[in-house]
Every structure is written in structure tokens, then in C-alpha cells.
């Protein structure tokens, strides 16, 4: 998946929020959001 700039990364991170409420998929969703935000902060798409 190619995301263009911080706006694309933020959109992808926000799209995972509904999964974070699940007991089964919650930890995975939090890990994905954290990884996307760290990658956006480092400037690596």
C-alpha cells in the first residue's frame, strides 16, 4: 500500500480505530496505528 504523505498515513491510522474496540483485534489495531504514526514521523512511507 502506497500512502502519499502524512494525510494518507493519518487516514489509514484513523481507519483502524473501529477495530481497536474489539477484544480480539484490538491489540493488532493499536500496533498498526502506532507503526503508521511512527513511520509518518520518520518520513518513511
Question: What pLDDT, on a 0 to 100 scale, did the predictor assign at position 27?
Answer: 93
**Structure confidence at residue 1 (pLDDT):** 52
Identify the domain containing residue 16 by its residue range: 5-42
Question: What pLDDT is recorded for position 43?
Answer: 67
Check residue 10 and give its pLDDT: 76
Domain count for the chain, please give it.
1
Q: Is the pLDDT of residue 45 over 60?
A: no
pLDDT, tens digit, for every residue of 5-41?
667 777 887 888 888 888 998 999 899 888 887 877 7
Round to whole Å and give the CA distance between 42 and 39: 5
Q: Does residue 42 have a pLDDT over 60? A: yes
Amino acid at each position: 500500500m502506497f500512502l502519499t504523505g502524512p494525510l494518507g498515513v493519518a487516514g489509514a491510522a484513523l481507519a483502524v480505530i473501529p477495530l481497536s474496540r474489539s477484544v480480539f483485534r484490538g491489540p493488532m489495531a493499536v500496533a498498526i496505528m502506532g507503526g503508521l504514526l511512527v513511520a509518518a514521523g520518520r518520513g518513511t512511507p
